[in-house]
Structure 1
């Protein structure tokens, strides 16, 4: 018989704390990176951090993204400090295993505490992901080059040149 005084267990869930989602590294992540990170964290049951086997093919299967996109995203998550490789995966004839990952905001059971590398990440000076809508010093008036943008042939409002009068003799 179950103990009636025992608290009911919570269903499995993923916690993303404000101190994780408020960092510059989180704000600069792509949507695909967040999707793959959540898919990886779903594999953990609270005791597997540091022993999460996750390949780019599995990431592709779990998220519906292309395999090459998953490779880029896992590299992005590693560069920004959310994930670290514990053991690099490889495929040869005898041993086939995926890369073993750990996420950095929780301790690895029995090995080390959380490193929280994403808090140390700083945005580089060259902002490659920011959208540049106008060039510095450009003219921002929408009516300039209207006919070029729309392809319309609009005659300017310039009065016609006066014609010389020629008298017949």
Structure 2
């Protein structure tokens, strides 16, 4: 006997879940997210009900309290998710009117009056900034040994490394 399904085909005991496709998990954007940003991203998904994308409410204060994190840490996570294309601020909240920001998850479709929009998946276009590595960053910091000893700035004139010979081979000698 199979598992029971509801009228709409869902298994009621399992509830909702977050789809994590390998393409997203292996993307540079996902791999560069902080652990806190991933935790916040999961919390935002728990507030998605299938028809409220673009109107997902979560304030920084509430996120800090629910996740047990500091407000500055949560703010950096929100910024990280937005910068890497996982989250879009649709409507800014207002402290005086007690209204939280309204967020859109780019991994979920957004419903509109005349139909259903597809998920924008903005994270696909994010690429890390190219940074130079090794000797490309600063040529003066190379590990190549100089050909001659550095000249002193102060003090007496430096002497040559080789001692001068008194007599050289084939020098003039009296016969």
Fold shared, TM-score > 0.5 on shorter chain: yes
Q: Which runs of 5+ in 2 are unaligned?
A: 133-140, 145-175
Cα 1:11–1:98 shift into 2, 3 Å: same
Whether 1:88 aligns to 2:112 is no
Which residue matches 1:101?
Answer: 103
Which residue matches 2:32?
Answer: 28
Instruction: Report matched runs for 1:40-59 at 5 Å.
Output: 40-59=44-63
Cα 1:23–1:136 shift into 2, 3 Å: farther
Q: Find the aligned partners of 1:4 and 1:105 in 2 and give their Cα distance.
A: 26
TM-score of the two chains, using structure 2 as the length reference: 0.65
Which residue matches 2:122?
Answer: 117
Q: Secondary structure of 1:96's match? A: coil
Moved more, 60-69 or 75-84: 60-69
Which whole-Å deviations, capped at 9, do the CAs of 1:63-110 have from their partners, x for residues lacking one?
111011101110110000000011011212xx2211100110121111
CA drift of 1:112 comes to 3.6
Q: Find the aligned partners of 1:5 and 1:70 in 2 and give their Cα distance.
A: 38
Which residue matches 1:160?
Answer: none
Whether 1:61 aligns to 2:65 is yes
Q: Secondary structure of 2:18's match? A: coil
Q: Which runs of 5+ in 1 are unaligned?
A: 128-134, 139-169
Q: Find the aligned partners of 1:105 and 1:33 in 2 and give their Cα distance.
A: 15
Q: Find the aligned partners of 2:77 and 2:56 in 1 and give their Cα distance.
A: 17
Larger Rg: 2
Q: Secondary structure of 1:102's match? A: strand
TM-score of the two chains, using structure 1 as the length reference: 0.67
Cα 1:98–1:125 shift into 2, 3 Å: same
RMSD: 2.4
Which residue matches 2:77?
Answer: 73
